[in-house]
Structure 1
Amino acid sequence: MEAGLRRSRRLNDYHTELVDQVLAEPDLDAVVKRMAYKIHGDVLVYAPDGAVLSASGERPAEQKTAMASAALAAHTAGKPVRLADAQLAIPIIAGDEGVATMLARPGDGEEIDHEHLRMFAQAAAVAFLVQRGITDATTGKDRDPLEDVLARRPASAAELARRARRAGMNLCEPYVVVVARPAEKSQGRLQIWASSFTLRSGGLKSIQAGAAVLVVPGTDASATAQLVRNELASFLGTEATVGAAGPVSGPGALLPGYQRASRCLDAILALGDMGKAASFDELGFLGLLLSDPPDIENFVENTIGPVLRYDGERNAHLKETLAAYFEADRSPTRAADRLYVHPNTVGRRLERVTDLLGTGWQKPEQMVDVQLALRILRIRALMKQATRRPADYNE
């Protein structure tokens, strides 16, 4: 017991000395060098975006994917984590914010006390925050292009594209915009996860009012939304609700894409579907109502586009059969009477519709969308006929 008390006093004295040093001279490099001396090894500190902040020796080449994985592991655990290559990853946390990650490689045979690691992490957090405040106030560092867009700061498309390229993303290629809101607020851990995700995907990120805004290269908004929800929920240990929009391309599509993804998220939450992930196009009729202006073409395409293309290629009368099926209260027999065909013909056509649209097209929500899309096409056809009549009459 007495030995334990002596050890506790030594740790407390060492901690006091370390904190006093940092308060007197908030130098992250000094903290890193002192830790490297203590463990007879190497120490590296890097920001959530993978940028190396300090190193005990020569600064290594940034291996952003490996560094992102190490940061994710450390901040998920909330304590030092031993990695496969004998390094230790230590989360540097200030309040609720995960500000950085420390990698430590002890010398051969060195046993590292986790209490010392915790102390150095705290000292590094203090030094980092002080230095960050000075740097932000005195340097002209490029702002994140996504931050400028969301803050409505004026910037040309060329300037946004240039800054995005510096961050590793080509806005001229297709991308998806995602807004993810966890059920419980955890700004620091959300920042760490978002930084890790965008480093791995090659995208952009911003944290806005407790939600992560992500710009991710790709063309499948639905799959990206599902991926984000699954990863974020697993990392935070709580539900995450996700709305996505796209694909879009070009710097000018960033803000409209964000607005559509935000409206998608708001719609999901308004419907009481917390923990769900969906793209704007998956909202169906609700997405049509939320569009500004209403995107009717996109709604029809997303709802029955495969049916229309199949009819165009094979003259299969699937659209006509669907319309008759709904007009006959979903009775294949009565639909067959309307079409003057055998009920088996209607059955085969409806099976083909299922092949094209999936098994969910007869579920209540999707069925409403299908009927609305058919009505839109019918009204358009009637309007075209009406505009032709005066000319026909004059002839």
Structure 2
Amino acid sequence: MMDPTGRSAASPAGSLVERLRSVHLKMVDAVLGGDGLQQVAALAAEAAGAPVAIVVPRLDAAVASSGAGAGADAAPVRESTLEEIRRYVSDRVRDRPSQVPEALAAEAPIQSGDDVVGAVVLLREPGGADPSPEAGDFLHLAAVACLTEVAVEEAKEEVEQNLRGSFLEDLRSRPDLEPREVVRRAARLGCDLSRGAVVLCAELTTDRPRHVIATITGDEPGALAEHLDGRVYAILPGTGGDDAPDTTTARGRALATRLRRHGTVGVSSFYSDPAELPRAIQEAELVLDVLKQGEGGGWDGVQDIGTGTYRLLFRVLASHPEEVRSFYEDTVAPIVRYDDQYRTDLVGTLEAYLEQNCNMNATASAIYAHRHTVAYRLERVKELTGLDPMLSEDRERLGLGLKAYRIIAPRLPK
């Protein structure tokens, strides 16, 4: 076709193809250039002539353009509208029934294979012009660009996950790591260990470890968390000045309390020296093992795990396990073995006696036994251990021995 001047005139179809190609290239450039989904939404809105929202639950992303086009007077999309679109798309991704929002004019799924991971949504703008007939084509272009963004972000996450996993695995298995190396590698992952840290170790009852990790990093932005060997490990860096040990420990325990709806959580004490982080991990694992043992065996002392004496024993066990084992052998090990062999309850009776402030009648009531039975069992404790529960100094050794037993029990031969 020739125009009046004798030059070829581009067909409408050819013009649309060129425009689609141009917009597509701009969208891909925006993604690869790091401008992200916000710029893709703006380009789609400008091309389609109406506001555009993009929701990708996998990336926890929900963004919207301003009004139609990129004009300075374009009204922004209301937060309530974007939240409604977010809920709608999230339900669609999870294959749940959802009511179509009134503001939705058209949508294009962001699809990876057979999986829908999000959507690009064209919004009705009150009082605005009708969207162009080609608006659907631009939505699909935006969906393709968004899929590229998903791939880029997931590739970054995979690299970071591998780095986190490698770092935590090295901390667990290589106690010879140089402190400067530990601090440097953690800093590359956004975790500042220069003021020390507290470690959490969780064994989950949920099949959503990524959700638990997201909870940890959401509550503690500087934390380092990863799923390894069926457990979630988290390092909470110290913050503050001289109060860093207390404040970081308090944060760790508060976070553990929030996570307990997802499983059992062990928390280490505060370690100021980055070189001791392997011990902090061992301590958190030990606390977790003891908590699990207590939950399964009905031990009433589980709530005391965070107290000073237990915490000291955990630290000693993480660094010098032979000392705790030796103390156990020198105190209550004989009555533990006696109970195992003869199905008696000398350990339980001794614990009750100490908990009842050495009151024989209260002990008998607590264990549903006769007072003479309690006296007989305490005499057997004295014979087997060489320590007299009636004497103050011996009671202290027996009490500490019971605590040592509780924290090493999960690792004793069955």
Higher relative contact order (CA 8 A, sep 6+): 1
Larger radius of gyration: 2
Check whether TM > 0.5.
no
Could you state the TM-score of these two structures normalised by the residue count of structure 1? 0.43
Could you state the TM-score of these two structures normalised by the residue count of structure 2? 0.41
